[in-house]
Chains A and B, each alone.
Chain A
């Protein structure tokens, strides 16, 4: 196990009150594993990812719980020591590569600067390394492209540059926050292939933050589904897709317009919208939108594989009625 998160909670004080963006999240990341954290906007998945790197530290933020990495608790680490970890041991790539690169410096320079900030490396060696890195992420003509500015790259190529930078210091963990969301599908396929290859060849452990279950199915080993600041289901890739336990997961799967199945007359939809994190419900946070809510749901369910009070046998039966599996039979034209 390389990263162990326990009871992580992130709260932000705002004018409107305290926002409980992440509320008791626990998960483990194994060596060489790709863990996908899936959720919709506002579920807390990005805040979770950013907190792993100490990026949510702010005067109005309260962070509790622990993030254990290499024998130390990252939450307790001071800013100085965190810099030794951030970028070097745990690296991150973001959704929008244009805003993560400095537009007025050549990309080669940016990679060189990053390498030299973290270790005693000659300029020449760092430049060679930059070329090598660009080559390793599949950028054609790397010797020439190091001289280019970020705007001279396409969106997909920019994301490759970001990945090259993230790999520069040979990190153990890569946190990828919606790395392909801004890209077209054909380019997304290229980037996913690259991430998969880095994972296999370098044994790089990846925390992949995404809203796209298709992307998850493509490269993840394990999946944590987040809803309203909490993990509601944590399971292997196959279980999430073939034996999902939480009604929210069923809803997510059912609401996808899929290319691999006959077209249903209607998409399954989850009624309503997620609760406000200023004042989340005391019991199950999904209860208000859940078609199977019953009296027990006013109590907060514990996370035991999934966060739901339903009996496992009932789950299977109900899922077949309203989940994506049931929808398969409802075929139009």
Chain B
């Protein structure tokens, strides 16, 4: 299986219809939440996915898991196509792709004990029965930094960080290969956030997990990711190994995002050059013509308003969709 990516997403599209009408609903437009996204994740790798609210990053992760049916495109996991499968035939594959959610309060059933929350998926998938379930639950709780006695408690008895640990234990219960983490630390305080980020990294090196790490916090994404993809209005506009993307962003949007992040160093903040974008993200119902970013881009020219730039490999392993990329190292 060497060389083959664990997850391969090609031209994935998810358009939501916008309906209007009093008696008969008519489709008047489409929200282009995900608009032709391709990405790959290799075994043991973390792909970070960043973007602002409404860029489609959460819809993309849900569409990859087939939690929403894609409009078109392909999702291959371990070489198998997921799009178009029945729920039943998806089940064994889903076991290997688990999700961790943003809100540790809303993603755990308040009526169930922690032991049930973690144990039930194992029973459903036939991974363990009877005593084995309890034993596994205790192991998992221990693994995520909680203790066995927590199994008999309810979610409301835990703090936000502890709940996120329970969510992680539940995801691990099915021995997945890929974990899609949608803003897993953004609801947490920084000191707790660091605990969870460290835990996720430890688990990865121990179990060989792959992550799709979706977040808006560029600092956290840089810390966990091997590669990073930047999304804007339903599309990936740039993707590169983490260090390259942060040191040498090619797309103006990536440059702007990075320069908007306040740095906890007052002198450096004053000293560095800032690119503050004007205006807001346009509506994904009717995205701008040509390059979606041209309405906010300080370097946009005529060509950007008509011609939609495609992702191109501008440097080794570094792709961007832009007519006027920044920071390119001149070829000698």
Interface residues on A, range: 35 or more
B219 lies within 8 A of chain A by Cβ: yes
B263 lies within 8 A of chain A by Cβ: yes
Closest residue on chain A to residue B202 by CB atoms: A266
Which residues from B are CB-within-8-Å of A185? 52, 216, 218, 257, 260-261
Binding stretch for chain A, among B25-33, B112-120, B184-192, B308-316:
B184-192
Q: List B residues 148-179 near A (Cβ within 8 Å).
A: 159-162
Across the interface, do A259 and B269 meet the contact criterion of CB distance under 8 Å? no
Q: A255-B190, A257-B219 are in contact. List 18 more A-B contacts (CB 8 A).
A: A40-B191, A40-B192, A184-B216, A184-B281, A185-B216, A189-B276, A213-B190, A213-B264, A214-B261, A218-B269, A255-B191, A257-B194, A257-B222, A259-B219, A260-B263, A260-B268, A270-B191, A270-B194
A193 to B262, CA, bound (A): 11
Q: List A residues 244-271 near B (Cβ within 8 Å).
A: 251-260, 263-264, 266-271
B130 lies within 8 A of chain A by Cβ: no
- A148-182 vs B: 1/0 string, CB under 8 Å? 00000011110000000000000000000000000
B201 lies within 8 A of chain A by Cβ: yes
Closest residue on chain B to residue A236 by CB atoms: B266
Which residues from B are CB-within-8-Å of A213? 190, 264
Select which of A186, A238, A268 is within 8 A of B260 by beta carbon.
A186
Which residues from A are CB-within-8-Å of B162? 273
Select which of B257, B258, B264 is within 8 A of A256 by beta carbon.
B264
A215 lies within 8 A of chain B by Cβ: yes
A212 lies within 8 A of chain B by Cβ: yes
A261 to B90, CA, bound (A): 43
Across the interface, do A41 and B189 meet the contact criterion of CB distance under 8 Å? yes
Q: Between A and B, how many residue pairs show CB distances below 8 Å?
A: 124
7 contacts between A and B (CB under 8 A): A40-B191, A155-B53, A185-B218, A237-B266, A260-B263, A260-B265, A263-B222
Q: List B residues 213-231 near A (Cβ within 8 Å).
A: 216-220, 222-223
Which residues from B are CB-within-8-Å of A157? 280
Smallest CB-CB A-B distances: 10 pairs: A214-B262, A255-B194, A40-B189, A270-B191, A257-B223, A257-B219, A267-B194, A184-B52, A269-B194, A189-B260
Closest residue on chain B to residue A248 by CB atoms: B191
A188 lies within 8 A of chain B by Cβ: yes
A190 to B280, CA, bound (A): 10
Select which of B195, B246, B262 is within 8 A of A192 by beta carbon.
B262
A217 lies within 8 A of chain B by Cβ: yes
Closest residue on chain B to residue A41 by CB atoms: B189
Across the interface, do A215 and B262 meet the contact criterion of CB distance under 8 Å? yes
A211 lies within 8 A of chain B by Cβ: yes
B10 lies within 8 A of chain A by Cβ: no
Across the interface, do A266 and B276 meet the contact criterion of CB distance under 8 Å? no
A241 to B264, CA, bound (A): 7
Across the interface, do B218 and A40 meet the contact criterion of CB distance under 8 Å? no
Select which of A253, A260, A333 is within 8 A of B243 by beta carbon.
A333
Across the interface, do A190 and B276 meet the contact criterion of CB distance under 8 Å? yes
A154 to B274, CA, bound (A): 23
A266 to B224, CA, bound (A): 10
Closest residue on chain A to residue B218 by CB atoms: A259
Which residues from A are CB-within-8-Å of B53? 155, 184
